[in-house]
């Protein structure tokens, strides 16, 4: 036969909880006052050795997002315009144009040519460009 007894725990939050003990013939079961012995954190801290001193490790910083524009293209055009460098421009259809870049904007280049009409070229139609052979 099992007998339901109340166990009292010395914890203010726990209170009384039911416990099941085997019934001893005629002997009342007493729950002992058991106290949890736990050292305070300060005592533990004082007893332990201090941790070895480590050199601070440089934490890698988050990589920054690269800028949308580097302005390298603009720098190149300005340099070629100021020095009036003869340029050779090859279009996507294979046509080769020679001249000096007079001005540019976001989508176009104006190419001055000797003995031929000046051209306004869309950058999207340019396959590649390089300095002319006269340089």
Question: What pLDDT sits at residue 12?
Answer: 55
Cβ(31)–Cβ(7) below 8 Å: yes
Residue 45, phi then psi, degrees to nearest 5: -65, -40
CA distance linking residue 77 with residue 100, whole number of Å: 10
Contact 19, 39 (CB under 8 A): no
Q: Look up tokens 């050292």; give the residue.
A: 39
Whether the pLDDT of residue 41 is over 90: the answer is no
Nearest-angstrom CA–CA distance, 28 and 12: 25
pLDDT surpasses 70 at 115: yes
Model pTM greater than 0.85?
no
Confidence of residue 99 (pLDDT cuts 50, 70, 90): very high
């Amino acid at each position: 036969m099992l007998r339901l007894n109340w166990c009292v725990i010395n914890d203010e939050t726990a209170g009384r909880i039911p416990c099941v003990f085997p019934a001893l013939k005629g002997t009342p079961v007493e729950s002992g006052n058991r106290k949890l012995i736990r050292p305070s954190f300060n005592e533990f801290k004082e007893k332990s050795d201090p941790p070895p001193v480590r050199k601070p490790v440089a934490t890698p910083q988050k990589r920054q997002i690269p800028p949308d524009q580097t302005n390298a293209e603009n720098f190149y055009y300005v340099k070629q315009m100021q020095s009036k460098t003869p340029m050779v421009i090859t279009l996507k259809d294979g046509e080769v144009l020679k001249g000096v870049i007079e001005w540019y904007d976001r989508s176009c280049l104006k190419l001055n040519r000797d003995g031929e009409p000046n051209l306004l070229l869309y950058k999207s139609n340019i396959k590649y460009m390089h300095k002319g052979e006269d340089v």
